[in-house]
Structure 1
Amino acid sequence: MERKGKAEAGAFISIVAYIALAVSKLSVGYIAHSDGVKADGWNNFSDVIASIAVYIGMKIAKKPRDHNHPYGHSRAENISSLIAAFMMMSIGIDVMTEGVLALFRPEKEENAPDLLASFVAVASAFVMLSIYSFNIRLAKRTNSLALAAVAKDNLSDALVSIGTVVGIAGAQIKLLWLDPLVAVLIGGVICKTAWEVFMETSHTLTDGFDEQRLTAYKREIAAISGVKDVADIKARMLGNDIVLEVTIHVDPHLTVAKSHEIADEVERLMKNRYNIEATHVHIEPEKIP
């Protein structure tokens, strides 16, 4: 529960930062006549919505289990990430459309973005890189896939802001098409991030799990004294918690108490080394030829 509370803090910080950046960029974008900064502002507005969805999902995920949810509500966090991906994709497509229209707008040739827009974009890049650094470290400590998705979005926003600066700089040297082109690229980045979040969340919700991590778990368990073989191992995510199920073979002549000690050792190893709270161990006798 403490880990989930820390993950919530990361999502909340992102919400506050995105609101401030969205208001600043949309205001400056219209004042400075910059399609790139306006698109970046709408990108941040989509991030506000997405981060709020993730934050609500994290709140619901903390609810204890009940008669309708014997495994708890942890997957609400994943569902909120899925909703956020759809929101981001919708706004990304809209930003791309507006950028394409701006490229072919005749009056666009008359207006180059003011340098004020570039100052806002540079400041935004520094802010988002700082928040990304904070959230990615917090996501690793809390094992939160939802916060990791938020951090990935933070990084893409920093890169988008850098791209906006490039577009504005190009417009200052009479490459007026560069600013709306950057707006199109920003829309593409939003869509790409949304797709990555969607794919990762879908993989988790369909009980997908990293095969390399399973191999590492299996190797560690097989090295425990008394474990003759790891017959089967599988894992899935419930929110930011890993549920591990393993079948091991032991000496058929061991007492029930000794077999239970080996199972306890497997659970301790997984908890201490990989922070896995729920390890279900099934013990079977070793097959003697």
Structure 2
Amino acid sequence: MVDIYDRIKEGERGAWVSIFAYIILSALKLTIGYLFLSSALRADGLNNLTDIVASIAVLIGLRISRKPPDADHAYGHFRAETVAALIASVIMAFIGIEVLLGAARTLSAGSQEAPHVWAAGVALFSAIAMYGVYRYNRDLANRTGSQALMAAAKDNLSDALVSLGAAVGILGSQLQMPWLDVVTAFVVGLIICKTAWEILRDSLHRLTDGFDEKELAIIRQTIARIDRVETVRELKARVSGSQTVLDVVVEVPRELTIVEGHDIADLIEAEMKEKHGIHFVSVHVEPKIEPEIKPEKSIKKDLESPP
């Protein structure tokens, strides 16, 4: 159990890296965007402001999830990660809609002045920096098993692509097409809303105890291959934060002792931890149900009395 909380604590480093990167880049983009009249760069800067909030939410969620079980949280606080991601997705959606409305107002006003080429350089630098943050958080999420941090890493990657798109839009506006910068800002708004929806959908799926059927089938195969497991009668799983909670009912040969059945349960728990990274496993062992043998129907012969 200790190693789980240690990995969650290690994952907090990724949230801090994202926060510092977003603070620096959002300040740079908003300043340059307003000075050099780039709607795309301003939209990208606003996007990074939402990412600061999202990263703080992830950090708070990781902090709360490290709290041990208490009187009214017998299963721990792991779902705090998911709740934090849910809140962050709603904030991102509001900012995305605001960016879309702002781009639409600017485009309808017409006579958009082309931004300075320096704005493209800032956007390109931001894209490279955010890709580096993505690589760092992705590797850290894989090492710690933090799904919240992996979601943050995907957000980092989308931000890198958004900045790259902003750079393309700004450079295109230099070719006597200033409206291209505004259109790029509109695309940035769409990407923000899309990312917010994906995080919201995933968070709601986990909070309602949804679980990937394909992953559940792989887990079932692992259990079925364990020696002396006759049948996996029941298998249920749910996600609590970055942890998977598993309930298993297996059938074993009837002649096994209680101790032998307990050993099989321990083996299942060990296999789940080693091969699937699942630490919370509840195993119920039952004797194999023998098929019911129905007695053959007796054939009654009517004996006729002799004449």
Same fold (TM over 0.5): yes
Question: SS of the residue aligned with 1:237?
Answer: strand
State the Cα deviation string for residues 189-224 of structure 1 (Å, max 9, x = none).
000000000001111111111111111111111111
1:37 pairs with 2:41: yes
Q: Which residue of 1 aligns with 2:296?
A: none
User: Could you tell me how far 1:152 is from its partner in structure 2?
Assistant: 1.2
- 2: distance between equivalents of 1:130 and 1:215? 35
Q: Which residue of 2 aligns with 1:148?
A: 150
Q: Which residue of 2 aligns with 1:219?
A: 221
Q: Which residue of 2 aligns with 1:265?
A: 267
1:5 pairs with 2:9: yes
- 2: distance between equivalents of 1:210 and 1:9? 28
State the Cα deviation string for residues 6-30 of structure 1 (Å, max 9, x = none).
2111111000000000000000001
Is contact 1:129–1:158 with CA below 8 Å preserved after alignment?
Answer: yes
Question: SS of the residue aligned with 1:104?
Answer: helix
Q: CA RMSD in A?
A: 0.9
1:106 pairs with 2:106: no
- Spell out the pairing of 1:90-105 with structure 2 (5 A cutoff): 90-105=94-109
Is contact 1:29–1:37 with CA below 8 Å preserved after alignment?
Answer: yes
Question: SS of the residue aligned with 2:251?
Answer: strand
What is the one-letter code of the residue matched to 2:206?
T
Q: Which residue of 1 aligns with 2:207?
A: 205
Structure 2 residue corresponding to 1:24, chosen from 24, 28, 31: 28
- 2: distance between equivalents of 1:272 and 1:167? 48
Moved over 4 A (4+): none
1:61 pairs with 2:58: no
Structure 2 portions without partners, runs of 5+ = 292-307
User: Could you tell me how far 1:113 is from its partner in structure 2?
Assistant: 0.5
User: Could you tell me how far 1:144 is from its partner in structure 2?
Assistant: 1.5
Structure 2 residue corresponding to 1:255, chosen from 250, 254, 257: 257
- 2: distance between equivalents of 1:13 and 1:279? 33
- 2: distance between equivalents of 1:14 and 1:99? 26
- 2: distance between equivalents of 1:232 and 1:266? 14
Is contact 1:8–1:55 with CA below 8 Å preserved after alignment?
Answer: yes
- Spell out the pairing of 1:235-246 with structure 2 (5 A cutoff): 235-246=237-248
| TM-score normalized by the length of structure 2 | 0.92
- 2: distance between equivalents of 1:201 and 1:139? 17
Q: Which residue of 2 aligns with 1:51?
A: 55
What is the one-letter code of the residue matched to 1:89?
A
Question: SS of the residue aligned with 2:223?
Answer: helix
Is contact 1:222–1:229 with CA below 8 Å preserved after alignment?
Answer: yes
Structure 1 portions without partners, runs of 5+ = none
- 2: distance between equivalents of 1:194 and 1:180? 21
Higher alpha-carbon Rg: 2
Question: SS of the residue aligned with 2:189?
Answer: helix
Identity of aligned residues (%): 46
- 2: distance between equivalents of 1:266 and 1:171? 61
- 2: distance between equivalents of 1:107 and 1:287? 79
| TM-score normalized by the length of structure 1 | 0.97
Structure 1 range deviating more: 135-144 or 14-23: 135-144
- 2: distance between equivalents of 1:255 and 1:92? 61
What is the one-letter code of the residue matched to 2:18?
S
Q: How many residues align?
A: 287
- 2: distance between equivalents of 1:151 and 1:172? 32
- 2: distance between equivalents of 1:120 and 1:77? 33
